[in-house]
Amino acid sequence: MILQERFQKALRMKGFAVFLMALCCCLSGTQGDHDNQKACCPSDTCSLMKELISIAEKLGSMGEKLGTMGDNLRLMETRLQTSENEVEELKRLTGGRPQVAFSATLWETGDAPGNTGPFTTPIPLQYKKVFSNTGSSYNPATGIFTATVKGMYYFHFTMMNNLNTPPNSVVCLTKNGQRLVSVWDTVGTDAHDSGSNAVVIPLEVGDNVCVELQANRLVHDDIMNYNTFSGFLLFPIRKPQGDFHRTHTSDGLSLLAVPQCRMGDP
């Protein structure tokens, strides 16, 4: 509406300027007949009228451009509304919750079957063959999962020993370099053992989780994919909005805590 009003105003100004020009010429023509002069109108008046007409034409051109801009703006608003509708539909389908999940294996197509390790220091195992990576939080180049959503996560990993006697395999799942759970096989006379472990832990944005092969240890893998690393977000953790929660006293009593309200709180 505003652009249309500006455009109409510009056209009215242009028409008014043309009217003034015609009126000026008529008056100057009458004056010229009276004074027996050949000039159609005084030079100063004609110059002024020409300037007014030029300004009016420019305003008219600006009005047309504003009208075009208005059409483009309406088109952009339509596209934006369409995008917002698609986002809302996606939220409806996913429940509005972030989705994070991955699963990968140590052996990658084209690799020769064999052992990984030993190394002189603990290193993150690089599970290069990715089965899924929703949210792109797992990096196959480093073997490290980096949390992009604050929440409670589930992680699971499996290990195959080094297929030699005696076995010499130890792997640990770590959070920010801290060991949490492990799988190991270092005792026995058989050479075809595997194991697994899992953990549920809270993560802040930026926390790193990986599976480390311990120093001077080995694991074996081949086309059967014995060594895997998987994880997913169970649920996000958001700042409490005045929810009731339970606390525990030193004597084991469970209390229901009620959030305090300050002046001005809703």
Give one DSSP letter per residue of 238-261, joined into a string: ---SS--EEEE-TTS-EEEE----
> Residue 20 has what pLDDT?
55
d(CA 239, CA 162): 45
Domain ranges of the chain: 2-94, 101-236
The domain 101-236 having CATH identifier 2.60.120.40: the answer here is yes
Dihedral, CA atoms, 141, 147, 149, 154, nearest 10 degrees? 110
Torsional class of 209: left (φ above 0), alpha (ψ -120 to 50), beta (otherwise): beta
Determine contact, residues 120/166, Cβ cutoff 8 Å: no
Determine contact, residues 151/203, Cβ cutoff 8 Å: yes
d(CA 62, CA 14): 12
What pTM was estimated for this model as a whole?
0.57
What does the pLDDT profile of the chain (266 residues) look like in tens digits?
554 565 455 555 555 555 555 555 555 554 444 444 444 455 667 777 777 778 877 777 887 788 888 888 888 888 898 888 877 766 666 667 899 999 999 988 778 888 899 999 999 999 999 999 999 999 999 999 999 999 999 999 999 998 878 899 999 999 999 999 999 999 888 778 899 999 999 999 999 999 999 999 999 999 999 999 999 999 999 866 554 455 555 555 544 444 444 434 44
